[in-house]
Amino acid sequence: MSNYRFFEEYNQETTENLKQKYSDILLGLGEDITREGIIKTPERASKAMQFLTQGYDQDPAAVLKSAMFAEDYHDMVIIKDIELYSLCEHHILPFFGKAHIAYIPNGHIVGLSKIPRVVDIFARRLQVQERLTHDILECINTTLEPKGVAVVIEASHMCMMMRGVQKQNSVTTTSGFRGQFEKIETRNEFLKLISNDLG
């Protein structure tokens, strides 16, 4: 017998409120909400939506500040291929892909795991890719005050793949640059490094 127990904590009032609304949606679609496969769906959907939007309750700047260290390092730091999953605010359908982020320290570095955490916090909100890119960029730039920041996001959008134009292989790329990355030579170095397979 396994002693594994998965535990997630949710606000009970919010869970019940959303559960009722999901029941109404399923009824509106003509579903039988009493059948075996559906009976627990409103509660599952309620908890799933709370999980997928938990970024509203988290402070990305505080995450960065919790792991800032004084360090005399002035070269580019790159974290590439950061997986991200978000929900499009227009249709509440997923978009997913990878973020590539670089910064040039200005007296402080940050724990490497904190950059992906910042990505997750902003992604776990209803988003558009353009704003997600900007949010991540400005948070790092304002909090770390580095010499430069660069963010590139490549993502596939289910609203384009499942409905609308139904284009299965399209990828949307957005980017933002601050400080030294506004110089073409620094930007090109970054873009070359994230496009190369360094392994």
Burial 32-59 (b: 16+ CB within 10 A, else e): ebeeeeeeebbbebbbebbebbebeeee
Residues 43 and 115 in one domain: no
Its domain, for residue 23, covers 12-52
Residue 74 covered by a domain: yes
- Same domain as 124, residue 107: yes
Instruction: Decide if 161 is inside a domain.
Output: yes
Regarding whether 170 and 87 lie in a shared domain, the answer is: yes
Q: Are residues 96 and 21 in the same domain?
A: no
pTM higher than 0.85 for the full model? yes
Q: What is the pLDDT of residues 115-172, one digit of tens each?
A: 999 999 999 999 999 999 999 999 999 999 999 999 999 999 998 888 776 676 789 9
CA–centroid distance for 114 within its chain: 13
Regarding whether 40 and 71 lie in a shared domain, the answer is no
- Tell me, what's the pLDDT at 161? 85
Structure tokens at 78: 């790159």
Q: Has residue 6 got a pLDDT over 80?
A: no
> What is the identity of the amino acid at 89?
E
DSSP symbols for 50-83: HHHTGGGG--HHHHHHTTEEE----S-EEEEEEE
CATH number of the CATH domain containing 48: 1.10.286.10
CA 68, CA 70: separation in Å to the nearest integer? 7
Q: Categorize the per-residue pLDDT at 1 as very low, low, confident or very high, splitting at 50, 70 and 90.
A: very low
How many domains are there within the chain? 2
Is 2 part of a structural domain of the chain? Answer: no
- Predicted confidence at residue 166, as pLDDT, reads 67
115 and 159 assigned to the same domain: yes
Average pLDDT, the chain: 93
Q: Strand order in 94-104's β-sheet? A: 126-127, 77-88, 94-104, 148-157, 172-179
The per-residue pLDDT for range 80-110, each reduced to its tens digit, is 999 999 999 999 999 999 999 999 999 999 9
Task: Report pLDDT digits (tens) over 39-88.
Answer: 999 999 999 999 999 999 999 999 999 999 999 999 999 999 999 999 99
Which residue's entry shows tokens 């127990």?
5
Is residue 85 included in any domain, yes or no?
yes
Active site residues: 88-91, 129, 157, 159
- Shared domain check, 167 and 90: yes
Q: Is residue 139 part of a domain?
A: yes
